[in-house]
Amino acid sequence: MARSLAVVVLAAGAGTRMKSSVPKVLHKLAGWPMLRHVVEAAARLKPARIVGVVPPSGDAIAAAFAPHPVAVQRQPRGTGDALRAALPALKDHQGPVIAIFGDAPLFTTATLRRLIAACARRGAAVGVLGFRPADPAPYGRLFVEGGRLQRIVEARDCTAEQRRNGFCNSGVMCIDGAKLAALMAGLRNDNAKREYYLTDLVELAVAAGDLAVAVEGDAAEFMGINTRQELAVAEAALQARLRAAALAGGATLADPASVWFAADTRLGRDVTVGPNVRFGPGVRVAANVEIKAFCDLEGCSIASGAIVGPFARIRPGSSVGRDVHIGNFVELKATTMDRGAKANHLAYLGDGRVGAGSNVGAGTIFVNYDGYGKYRTDVGAGAFIGSNSALVAPVKVGRGANVTAGSVVTEDVPAGAVAFGRARQATKKGRAAALRAKLKARAAEAKRARKD
């Protein structure tokens, strides 16, 4: 089945109700552009081709389709016209063609498979996914007689009698590729909006003596997104799925509703996630990891036995090794922490590596940026970086070296060396009173000045 399948993703709609300068299908859900959910669901069918249909000046959308090719719908002349734009890209294709919409990101691959299988089993020229929403008013209706889909009637064209039919059109369609061109040629725009409707393919197929079928799916999968409110509802639906999957896989989420996953987050068994944790795209967490409350992780891997947070931020390109501890108010950016390394308090570790078992003290900064370039900091295994130190990259601290607290390290520290980069303390006995008198007078003066 899969080899001869083609999928056309219609993504040329305007989306004006989003009130956004970002194309609707690029708004994000679970860390991905909406469109990617649709394309990934299609890709899991392993089709021979996926073709996107984009509007003119839809470069950003086309980029989101990459590496799949796109066709441009020049003018907004209806869904039938949109699919027609994809026909050149479907040249010589013989198997079934799925048409899906880029703004309906909740349907599952399993549901698409059921549609394709039903069409194949029954030899249908056209198959349509239908659903029964709580409120059918805005949807076109599917009319089935004797197991055969007869026609789709748009909501606005329904008679009062027809409105009583709650079986609605999801927009997802499967068309026999061998008959596609002939059917498409029959589309007419002799309607109020002067548009070509994909839904007319059903009547055209029936008129040609071919079979059309309807397959019912779960209403929750067919939500289309037109507003920010609907975007938020879809996000909640995706999150509910991702949370349930995490729990089923053996993770503990103290408060599932306060954990936000990306579509591709992977959690191992016995991972514990505290309340208020956000996973951006690209996070892999191994087994037996504890992620405490208030963490933000993205594009990183966390190895077994690690303890992260609370209030930790781990940014893309970071790798947290086995049994590593990352504590509060610590930021990792493109930094590797080797086995058993620790950075427990207030630190920025960017573009670096911390060797196995090393300890990075509170307040440490890897000074990776000088205003022009970014450089690496490399701390060897078993090193000790004293608190409130600044390691000015590019710089290396060797294995087993010690950097004393409060140091600015601008030169490499050899293995086994001790580096100081701080001033010696000078204590002036009994001088606080005079200093305070001076500060007090200055404050009084400043206050007077403000009044003037």
Binding to a copy of itself in span 10-69, by CB under 8 A: 18-22, 27-28
Phi, psi of 150 (to 5 degrees): -95, -45
Considering only residues 198 to 227 of the shown chain, the ones binding a copy of itself according to CB under 8 A are 227
Q: What is the x/- site pattern for a copy of itself, positions 275-294, by CB under 8 A?
A: xx-x---------x---xxx
Kindly indicate which of the ranges 32-40, 119-127, 132-140, 364-372 contains the residues binding a copy of itself, using the contact rule CB under 8 A: 364-372
Residue pair 367/350 in contact by the 8 Å Cβ criterion = no
Phi-psi region of 148 (alpha: psi -120 to 50; beta: other; left: phi over 0): beta
Residue pair 62/52 in contact by the 8 Å Cβ criterion = yes
Rounded CA gap, 314 and 450, in Å?
Answer: 44
Q: 287 is written with which tokens?
A: 């087994």
Q: Which is nearer to a copy of itself, 212 or 285 (CB)?
A: 285
Considering only residues 373 to 412 of the shown chain, the ones binding a copy of itself according to CB under 8 A are 373, 375, 384, 386-388, 390, 392, 400-402, 405-411
Phi-psi region of 209 (alpha: psi -120 to 50; beta: other; left: phi over 0): left
Q: What is the x/- site pattern for a copy of itself, positions 312-351, by CB under 8 A?
A: -x-------------xxx-x-------------xxxx-x-
Q: 308 is written with which tokens?
A: 């992260």
Note if 325 is an active site residue. Answer: no
User: From the CB of 14, what's the least distance to a copy of itself, in Å?
Assistant: 15
Q: Which of 256, 321, 340, 352 binds a copy of itself (CB under 8 A)?
A: 256
Eight-state DSSP code of residue 208: T
Q: Which of 56, 69, 123, 250 binds a copy of itself (CB under 8 A)?
A: 250
User: CA dist 56 to 59, 61, 89, 341, Å?
Assistant: 8, 10, 17, 52
Q: What is the x/- site pattern for a copy of itself, positions 104-143, by CB under 8 A?
A: ----------------------------------------
Rounded CA gap, 18 and 15, in Å?
Answer: 6
Q: Which is nearer to a copy of itself, 129 or 251 (CB)?
A: 251
Q: Which of 311, 316, 317, 381 binds a copy of itself (CB under 8 A)?
A: 311
Q: Which is nearer to a copy of itself, 160 or 248 (CB)?
A: 248
User: From the CB of 301, what's the least distance to a copy of itself, in Å?
Assistant: 20
The SS3 assignment for 389 reads coil
Q: Which of 425, 448, 451, 452 binds a copy of itself (CB under 8 A)?
A: 425
User: From the CB of 352, what's the least distance to a copy of itself, in Å?
Assistant: 12
Q: How many residues bind a copy of itself (CB under 8 A)?
A: 108
Considering only residues 230 to 249 of the shown chain, the ones binding a copy of itself according to CB under 8 A are 231-232, 235-236, 239, 244, 247-249
Q: Which residues contact 202 (CB under 8 A, 6 or more apart)?
A: 126, 128, 149, 150, 151, 152, 212
Q: Is 443 in the site for a copy of itself (CB under 8 A)?
A: yes
Where are any strands of DSSP class E within 276-415?
Answer: 277-279, 284-285, 290-291, 295-297, 300-302, 307-308, 312-314, 318-320, 325-333, 336-337, 342-350, 352-354, 359-360, 365-367, 377-379, 384-385, 390-392, 395-397, 402-403, 408-409
Catalytic residues, which ones?
Answer: 345
